[in-house]
Amino acid sequence: MPTEQKKLATVNCSSDLSDDHLFVRTCKREPAERTPIWLMRQAGRFQPEYRAIREKVSFLELCKTSQLAAEVTVMAVDQLNVDAAIIFADILLPLEPLGVGLEFVKGDGPVINRPITSAADVARLKQFDVITELGYVLQSIKLVVQALNQRVPLIGFAGAPFTLASYMIEGGSSRNFEKTKTFMYTENAAWHSLMEVLSDVTVRYLNAQIAAGAQVVQLFDSWVGCLGPEDYRQFVAPHMKETISGITPGVPVIHFGTGTATLLQSMKDCGGDVIGLDWRVELDQAWAELGDQVAVQGNLDPVVLLSDTEQIRLQTERILRQAKGRPGHIFNLGHGILPSTPVANVKYLVELVKELSTSAKQG
């Protein structure tokens, strides 16, 4: 889209944070003085301050109000002392301008009002300019970069094409993904057309986030673990390769999924500087399978943070032992912080990782 490219050139990238930051260096597998840590959903319902804001505005209103989205993004960094911020948004925001209808229903989560059921539905998807339609996210990024004042880098993110397609076809969350897989198997041409549309949107969206100031980006393929290895290679991998190869060169890409123990090598083959690991794999074994050419992120079970400090310490020590202090390990959970997690336990984890990994490096 020529008009969008012209607009991209005018986006004010206000971040001049050096690549020397601990988190960015670790994404690039460079030596670091300790293990960096940030946490998925580090801004969220486990925080009383976040809940107070949500009492006044809906989830979508919060995402679309740049000042508030920036506020909760920075609040998480200030409260938890993590090594990276991640912009407060949602992976499904690009679906709204595509024309399928998006709302968040209390108790039910996201709902797609006009789900994809046929090739004709795919053909009706709207083309849109990400800077015009998703400009509120880009403005949030600019505000966060300004507020952080180079303290930590900012992560931008987007949903990966398969996970977005699944929401669009299922009409919301799903357990077995019957509709998605049936569409994938029986509407082959329409499936690949849908994935191409979503890949294009994702590339343009992430590149706009980078132009606005994001220094690292993460692709969330939260649902791709429902696929077997051959289905991943046939129906997903070509589009993930296209997506990752289209992201602005030099910007680290974190490629994250859950339930992906059998897909890790294929995910690596698709690209990305960092592969996200969930708690269903042993970090050392998964890293050995992936090889030293990529960094890894993870992989504490979020439920551990509902236990006590003794258990948190034991589990954290185990993961750090498995990482062996090698360049390229980013500590994170295997997925997002759960709403009932005590804030004190999250703070304890962050400081514990810093303490243990610093001691290990010095030792």
- The CATH number that applies at residue 176 is 3.20.20.210
In a domain, 219, yes or no: yes
The count of structural domains within the chain is: 1
User: Is residue 249 in a domain?
Assistant: yes
Residue 336 domain flag: no
Give the mean pLDDT of 6-34. 70
Residue 22 domain flag: no
Q: Does a structural domain hold residue 356?
A: no
Indicate if 167 belongs to the active site: yes
Q: Is the model's pLDDT at 111 over the cut of 90?
A: yes
Other CB atoms within a 10 A radius of the CB of residue 357 amount to: 22
Catalytic-residue membership of 45:
yes
Catalytic-residue membership of 273: no
Please report whether residue 181 resides in a domain: yes
Give the pLDDT mean for 297-306: 98
What does the angle CA 257 – CA 261 – CA 263 come to, to the nearest 5 degrees?
70
Residue 282: domain span: 2-8+38-295
Confidence bin at 14 (pLDDT 50/70/90): very low
Residue 150 falls within a domain, yes or no? yes
Residue 287: predicted pLDDT: 98
Name the catalytic one among 25, 29, 50, 90. Answer: 90
Which residues 6+ apart lie within 8 Å of 213 measured at CB? 13, 14, 15, 141, 142, 144, 145, 154
DSSP H helix total and E strand total for the chain: 18, 9
38-51 pLDDT per residue, tens: 999 999 999 999 99
Instruction: Find the catalytic residue in 45, 114, 233, 313.
Output: 45
Set 25, 50, 167, 278: catalytic member: 167
Residue with tokens 């992560």: 155
- Give domain status of residue 99, yes or no: yes
**pLDDT of amino acid 4:** 53
pLDDT, tens digit, 9 for 90 and up, residues 201-247: 999 999 999 999 999 999 999 999 999 999 999 999 999 999 999 99
Q: Give pTM, 2 decimals.
A: 0.94
Q: Using one digit for the tens of pLDDT, what is the confidence trace for 175-213?
A: 899 999 999 999 999 999 999 999 999 999 999 999 999
Give the active site residue among 34, 41, 200, 232: 41
Residues in the chain: 363
Among the ranges given (5-19, 72-86, 151-165, 181-195), the one the predictor scored with the smallest mean pLDDT: 5-19
